[in-house]
Structure 1
Amino acid sequence: MLVIDEDCLRLIFEELCDDRCTMYSCLLVNRLWCEAVVPVLWKDPWKFLNDLKDFKRDEQFLNTILLHLSKESRNNLTSRDDINKYINIPQQQQTPLFNYINFIKYIRKKYQCLNVKNVCHQFFYDCTFKYILEQEVYKLLISKCASLKFLDITDMKYPLHEYSGATTNLSCIKELQCKSCDSEELFYGLSKICNSIEKLCVSYTSSNPGLAELIETQNNLKYVKILVNTNAKKIMKWEDKCQMIDQAIIKHSNKLIYLDIPIESISLSFYINLFPQLINLQTFILDGNMLCDTKLENQLLFSSSYSKLQVIHLDCVSFFTAKRLIQNTVQNLQIIWTNNICFDTEDQSKNFIRIIYQNCPYLKYVKFLLKGQYFEEIEQLLKICKFLEGLYIDVDHRINNYLNGDELLDILIRFAPNSLYKLQLNYCEFETKSFNSFFIEWKKRKSLWLYLNNINIKSDNDFKIEFIDLIKKYKDEKVIKICELNEKFNFINDYIEL
């Protein structure tokens, strides 16, 4: 009988960590498997909570947490009648099978999504009770979670930095999620403990010198995601109140390899100072935030060379901004993903495809919008981008109605590189026989991942039955691996960069 040691088992289970059913089954195999699975499941237990409002699981999770409370914490809770009324606190220490708390590496704000009133099956509950119970739980987590990697302090009301074990257990935090309006004192406290944060996600709503101090003191900040309250310009003047936070982020600009940020007119100087210094950026996610303000974007300054940039995701930016970014990437781009690029003319849509294939010979994934039947440009893209794996063609149906899908399929068969196997098409019109011919030719290639949204199939018969039968036939023959007719599906979703 083949015996696998515990280290190998854990590596396997790490790969299966999102497959809850399989992981639960593995718990029951034997003691060795159980001891290997439990640390993986409890590394980030929050992701298994509130699945389909399964509050039974929430209750079990909270009860398991409470089993680890210290005698002092239990006494503090059980001495209060208002708490005993809602939840049964263990009267004496019951020894769990494992020290589950010690395995936790992520503290997510999802704990508040447990919502004590649901766990206790009450419609109303005392806010004081909720505060005291959560405080004891956070004290437990901070003191016992020895290898924390992720911390979410959004709307946090507790002085985590003052809890026992904070100096040691919070010092290894690699990822922080917060709001700029969170507790200033908490930020100041964390700035003295957490200096190894690599990933930062901030929801900007107001000024906070404590947050600026925390960002300033980081030694290896590489990933930054900024969310901006769309009402921010109504409640503050950005330039005056967020300047400290802006300057703290700019200080790390030449170290950043990932930036996800919206463009806001109220903070233009921030971008003008930040963008040219992003010399090591590898992933750039830029959201125009529906401003479509060409005059504003024309004032933006970019680096003359983003030599390491490999991924750009552009949403609601102007053609001019997209063009400048792509042309400054020194031919290293592997993913270009665009939504709602603001084209002033139909020709700009055509020129955009040309800019892509002229500057991105090593492209692997691309999504662009067509405002015309630009088959010659698509052909050139397929010829030049010989490493292309995924192609998403979106069609502006307000102009084209439907793209001639039959001609597109013919071009794909004749010119697509052998590396291409993921294809997503939106607002195209086909004849069933064209798909049949396409699949016959595709037999020589890697199994196809096909996503079709808002398509029109011309047929004398019931095209749905005919097309479904066709798909089934070629799935059975392994020509097609995946075929989805739902626009919610998107082949780029398996790319963690986005």
Structure 2
Amino acid sequence: MNSRIQLYPDCLRRIFEYIVDSSEYLHITHKNLYSCILVNKLFFQNAIPILWRNPWNPNSNKSKNNYNKKLSIARTILSCLLQYHREQQQDKNLTDIFGLISFENPMKDPIFDYVSYCRHINCLDIENVTRMLIENKRELNVIFDKKHEENIGYILFEEIWRLFMKKCNNIEYLKLPQNINISILPGSQQCLRWLNELECVVGNEMNQSINKNFIGLANICHNLTKIRINPLDKDDRGLATLIKAQNNLEEIHLFTNQHVENLRFINQALSTKSNSLEILSFKGNFYFSSQNSFLSSLHNLKQLHIKFATYSNINCLLNLTVLPKLEFFVIHLNYYSFEISLDCFSKLISTTKGLLRKFEIINATRPPSKIIGLQLFIQSIINHCPLINHLKIWYISDLLNDFKQLLISAEYLNSIEFDFLKML
């Protein structure tokens, strides 16, 4: 009797998917899954599509052979690109890549349609692939046409993006390129239809392609749950249009190294996401008008992170804000302030309906010399935050009884951090 257990392909695929999806919690790296492709043909056929969902995964490139693995990925993408061009030789819109590239030894066709498995595309990874193909042309036995040698980098970059847009059917994460409008490439509507997470750059010196990308994506993507802009150095109407077009946007992270004022379009767009937005993060000194602040409409917001903003901007942003479902609130001040009033924080806490679990105010350098409203702030925590489990605040010895009351009433408090102040 044969005692061996035969795994069906769909069962094996589910096991591999679980390994990848739970790798962070199980302390399993992609190296473990790579070893599976050596077991037998069945393991090989089911592991490859999952590994290529994100071939640039940092967990898969931590070994000493990191460079060789990246070069192998670049070589594989080039072989997929050549195969795609052979299949589409009648398409006059394609660059005649065979007129630009030749080989000392013929390149073998890929075993799988590797690119079609990708679900994560990062413009930086595409740039790295392009650069590695050019820098390692001798090792890859590649010969570039001398007439186009100066432009071969951009041509390859664009053709690789064309390949991904045409071949990928279910992209989940995208870091947007700055110098090419991918929304008009053939296949982009199907490729980006179910895009879940978008990351990109919006700078003052950016050309119009990034804005066109936003407008184009707004017509294609309606299922984004997370948007990360780093940096956002100007109010961008295209980005605002993209935000408005989303059905269930849950997270927005905005970063800047400048003082950005008059975010009128972004302000209006964020105010339309009151039913879905749960996590909001600012890093930098953004300015929003208190009279029209979108925060007042975000009644489902659960996490608010504000980092490196001036106290005056924070106070203006939080003025008259009501956040009944807020659970996490973290503030990083960007420079030393002689005097800080906690009134706006106390008012906000009083609107949280007992759900606040974490509150932090972190000093950029050293604590302020004077705190206004600390006693009222402590009482707000006592009266409105029964679930608080982490707190970082200032300590003044004159309020010892209030702090005792706080420690007694905070049943779920796991940690508390103090910045000690001296009374003037």
TM-score of the superposed pair, with normalisation by structure 1: 0.65
CA distance in 2, matches of 1:299, 1:378: 28
Q: Please say if residues 174 and 197 of structure 1, whose CA atoms lie closer than 8 Å, have aligned partners that are also in contact.
A: yes
In the TM superposition, residue 9 of structure 1 has moved relative to its aligned partner by 4.3
Which sits farther off after the overlay, 2-11 or 245-254? Answer: 2-11
Residue type of the partner of 2:72? Q
CA distance in 2, matches of 1:69, 1:113: 15
Deviations 1:27-78 (A, max 9, x none): 4344444444433322222233775893322211111112212546478334
State the superposition RMSD in angstroms.
Answer: 3.7
Q: Please say if residues 395 and 418 of structure 2, whose CA atoms lie closer than 8 Å, have aligned partners that are also in contact.
A: no
Q: In the alignment, is residue 393 of structure 1 matched against residue 417 of structure 2? A: yes
Q: In the alignment, is residue 138 of structure 1 matched against residue 161 of structure 2? A: yes
In the TM superposition, residue 332 of structure 1 has moved relative to its aligned partner by 0.5
Q: In the alignment, is residue 286 of structure 1 matched against residue 300 of structure 2? A: no
For residues 347 and 210 of structure 1, do their structure 2 counterparts lie closer, same or farther at Cα, with a shift above 3 Å needed?
closer
For residues 391 and 281 of structure 1, do their structure 2 counterparts lie closer, same or farther at Cα, with a shift above 3 Å needed?
same
Name the residue aligned to 1:10: 17
SS in 1 for 2:311: coil
CA distance in 2, matches of 1:129, 1:61: 19
CA distance in 2, matches of 1:30, 1:380: 65
Name the residue aligned to 1:315: 332
For residue 381 of structure 2, the aligned residue among 352, 356, 364 is 356
Q: Please say if residues 272 and 301 of structure 1, whose CA atoms lie closer than 8 Å, have aligned partners that are also in contact.
A: no
Q: Please say if residues 193 and 221 of structure 2, whose CA atoms lie closer than 8 Å, have aligned partners that are also in contact.
A: yes
SS in 2 for 1:46: coil
Residue type of the partner of 1:252? K
CA distance in 1, matches of 2:40, 2:292: 59
Q: Please say if residues 237 and 265 of structure 2, whose CA atoms lie closer than 8 Å, have aligned partners that are also in contact.
A: yes
For residues 247 and 290 of structure 1, do their structure 2 counterparts lie closer, same or farther at Cα, with a shift above 3 Å needed?
closer
CA distance in 2, matches of 1:220, 1:112: 29
For residue 185 of structure 1, the aligned residue among 200, 212, 216 is 212
For residue 62 of structure 1, the aligned residue among 70, 74, 95 is 74
Q: How do residues 335-354 of structure 1 correspond to structure 2 at under 5 angstroms?
A: 335-340=358-363, 343=368, 345=370, 352=377
TM-score of the superposed pair, with normalisation by structure 2: 0.75
CA distance in 1, matches of 2:400, 2:113: 62
In the TM superposition, residue 208 of structure 1 has moved relative to its aligned partner by 3.6
Name the residue aligned to 1:94: 109
CA distance in 2, matches of 1:128, 1:90: 24
SS in 1 for 2:96: helix
CA distance in 1, matches of 2:76, 2:152: 19
Name the residue aligned to 1:19: 29
Which sits farther off after the overlay, 24-33 or 304-313? Answer: 24-33
Name the residue aligned to 2:176: 153
CA distance in 2, matches of 1:258, 1:368: 20
Q: In the alignment, is residue 246 of structure 1 matched against residue 287 of structure 2? A: no
For residues 370 and 270 of structure 1, do their structure 2 counterparts lie closer, same or farther at Cα, with a shift above 3 Å needed?
closer
Which sits farther off after the overlay, 269-278 or 163-172? Answer: 269-278
Q: How do residues 396-475 of structure 1 correspond to structure 2 at under 5 angstroms?
A: none
CA distance in 1, matches of 2:79, 2:212: 31
Name the residue aligned to 1:260: 281
Q: In the alignment, is residue 222 of structure 1 matched against residue 242 of structure 2? A: no
Q: Please say if residues 66 and 89 of structure 1, whose CA atoms lie closer than 8 Å, have aligned partners that are also in contact.
A: no
For residues 343 and 116 of structure 1, do their structure 2 counterparts lie closer, same or farther at Cα, with a shift above 3 Å needed?
same
CA distance in 1, matches of 2:39, 2:378: 54
Q: Please say if residues 331 and 362 of structure 2, whose CA atoms lie closer than 8 Å, have aligned partners that are also in contact.
A: yes
Q: Please say if residues 170 and 191 of structure 2, whose CA atoms lie closer than 8 Å, have aligned partners that are also in contact.
A: yes
CA distance in 2, matches of 1:104, 1:23: 16
CA distance in 1, matches of 2:105, 2:84: 12
CA distance in 2, matches of 1:2, 1:271: 67
For residues 122 and 104 of structure 1, do their structure 2 counterparts lie closer, same or farther at Cα, with a shift above 3 Å needed?
closer
Q: Please say if residues 346 and 371 of structure 1, whose CA atoms lie closer than 8 Å, have aligned partners that are also in contact.
A: no
In the TM superposition, residue 150 of structure 1 has moved relative to its aligned partner by 1.4
CA distance in 2, matches of 1:68, 1:89: 18
In the TM superposition, residue 133 of structure 1 has moved relative to its aligned partner by 0.9
CA distance in 1, matches of 2:191, 2:126: 21
For residues 89 and 141 of structure 1, do their structure 2 counterparts lie closer, same or farther at Cα, with a shift above 3 Å needed?
farther
Higher relative contact order (CA 8 A, sep 6+): 2
Q: Please say if residues 204 and 228 of structure 1, whose CA atoms lie closer than 8 Å, have aligned partners that are also in contact.
A: yes
For residue 51 of structure 2, the aligned residue among 27, 31, 41 is 41
Which sits farther off after the overlay, 105-114 or 15-24? Answer: 15-24
SS in 1 for 2:348: helix
Name the residue aligned to 2:295: 275
In the TM superposition, residue 104 of structure 1 has moved relative to its aligned partner by 1.2
For residues 305 and 348 of structure 1, do their structure 2 counterparts lie closer, same or farther at Cα, with a shift above 3 Å needed?
closer
Residue type of the partner of 1:330? K
CA distance in 2, matches of 1:32, 1:386: 54
SS in 1 for 2:306: strand
Q: Please say if residues 121 and 175 of structure 2, whose CA atoms lie closer than 8 Å, have aligned partners that are also in contact.
A: yes
For residues 31 and 326 of structure 1, do their structure 2 counterparts lie closer, same or farther at Cα, with a shift above 3 Å needed?
farther
Deviations 1:376-424 (A, max 9, x none): 6665545433334x4253555x979xxxxxxxxxxxxxxxxxxxxxxxx
Q: Please say if residues 200 and 223 of structure 1, whose CA atoms lie closer than 8 Å, have aligned partners that are also in contact.
A: yes
For residues 57 and 71 of structure 1, do their structure 2 counterparts lie closer, same or farther at Cα, with a shift above 3 Å needed?
closer
CA distance in 2, matches of 1:90, 1:391: 64
Unmatched segments (≥5 aa) in structure 2: 87-94, 138-143, 335-339
Count of residues paired in the alignment:
378
Q: In the alignment, is residue 325 of structure 1 matched against residue 352 of structure 2? A: no
CA distance in 2, matches of 1:59, 1:90: 18
CA distance in 2, matches of 1:282, 1:169: 31
